[in-house]
Amino acid sequence: MFKNVFGSGFLVRTAHVVLTWVVTLILFLHDTELRKQEETGQLVQPVLFVLLVLVSVLLYFTVSLMDPGFILSDDPDLQSGGVGGAAGHDRPRVQIPASAPLWSLSAADVCLCSEQQPMRSKHCQTCHHCVRRYDHHCPWIENCVGEQNHRWFVVYLAVQLLVLVWALHITWTGLVLVPGLSPWLRSNGVLLVVLVLLVLLALVVLLLLGSHLYLVSLNTTTWEFMSRHRISYLKHCGAEQNPFDRGTLLNLWGFFCVWGSVVWEQVYFREGSDPV
């Protein structure tokens, strides 16, 4: 379920953890409201902030080390010829209408790990695995974002954004007014660097969180959104047509609250709908 913590992404994960705790330490060492509360014995906010930072680090390692939904070559459903086999080996067989045109595996779809590739999966050239409901490969977590860890990736982004906004507020309270530009820069230099870093990271995380929530509400992935013109089962659809869209509320419910694999072929060829 989880990958080796000392794998290829060890340096990236180490940099993330070190940067996180160095910034947290700076906020405690400088004359911020966090330090003032600690010195006066008001420990509620300092403890909550540290716990929130710890939760964000744990979520980071969860999405970074978790199996995103790799398809293994020994998947029983793939070996037996079932379309869209599941990691849990209990997915129902897919009954595709005889009149429905089957999609062909193009260069954008082809999986090098198995002869049959479940719908919405993609072979990642970085991980060298095919990933179920592939979204994208994230270099910051050094892992793919797919069926099994996508919801945790979105939760991590939400918690990380909360940490960054809170840290921005704490950093701002530590800035002191000193006459003259040079003395002011000397007095606030470290906190200014932290402030700029936090602003940049917060903007990136905000954009990522907003884009992922938008795509989730449509029941589409980053890969499908960016490359639908090259994906065999989508390129024949209209520009606004998404065969997996079940409405915003059902899409969000299915993403956050429904566990287990979905046979996307059944959704694609759902009964009563015209074959795409």
Nearest CA-CA partner of 126 in 108, 142, 113: 142
Query: 3-class SS at 163?
Result: helix
Residue 232 burial by Cβ neighbours in a 10 Å radius (0-12, 13-18, 19+): middle
Q: Which two tokens stand for residue 216?
A: 């989730």
Q: Which two tokens stand for residue 259?
A: 């566990």
For residue 53, give every residue at least 6 positions away whose Cβ sits within 8 Å of its Cβ, in sequence order, or none. 20, 21, 24, 163
Specify the DSSP element, H or E, that contains 21. helix 10-29
Of 138, 144, 237, 257, which one is the catalytic site residue? Answer: 138
Task: Provide DSSP, 124-140.
Answer: ETTTTEEETT--EEETT
> Is residue 237 annotated as part of the catalytic site, yes or no?
no
Residues involved in catalysis: 138
